[in-house]
Amino acid sequence: MSIATFKGINGMLLTKESDQERLGIASYINSLASKLTTATVSYVGKADYKEAEQYIRDFRTWTSPLGNDLLVEISAVNGRFTLDFLQPFSNPVFVNAFLKELDENGIVYDLQDVNELELPNIKLPWTEQ
C-alpha cells in the first residue's frame, strides 16, 4: 500500500464519530490485509549523520506489519545494513532461510539479537465476537 492509500484510510477513519465505528473499519481492513498480504518490506534508506555516523552501530525504525504477515525493516548507516524481521509467529523459518542464503553466498553478518515479545492473553470488549 502506498502513503496515499494510508492517508485515505486515515481520513476515512477520522470521519467516523465513535471509536466503535473506527475499530470496526480497522478490523475489516486488517482482515482484508491478512488475506491479501504475505510480507511487507520497508526500506528506510541511507541515514546521513555525517561525522556522528561513526558512532552509530545500527539504525532501527519499527513499524507494524499489515495483517499477520512478516515485516522486514531495512535501514543503512555507517556502511552497514540493519535488517529486522518482525513476525507474529514463533517459527524462524524465514529468518533461517535468509541466513542460509547469506552463508551460501559468503556474506558475513552479525546476528545481534533475537527477542520474543510476550503479551498478556486479554480480550478487549469491542474485539470479542
* pTM of the full structure: 0.52
- pLDDT score of 23 more than 70: yes
Question: Which tens digit of pLDDT belongs to each residue from 50-94?
Answer: 788 777 777 666 666 555 577 888 888 777 788 888 877 778 888
Give me the domain span that covers residue 10.
Answer: 1-36
Looking at the fold, whether 11 and 52 belong to one and the same domain comes out as no
Q: Are residues 103 and 44 in the same domain?
A: yes
Per-residue confidence (pLDDT) for residue 55, from 0 to 100? 78
pLDDT digits (tens, 9 = 90+) for 89-126: 778 888 899 999 999 999 988 888 777 766 666 665 65
Residues 25/15, Cβ–Cβ less than 8 Å? no
**Pair 10, 54 in one domain:** no
Cell of residue 114, nine digits: 533475537
15 shares its domain with 52: no
25 and 54 housed in the same domain: no
Q: H-type helices in the chain, by residue range?
A: 3-14, 19-36, 93-104
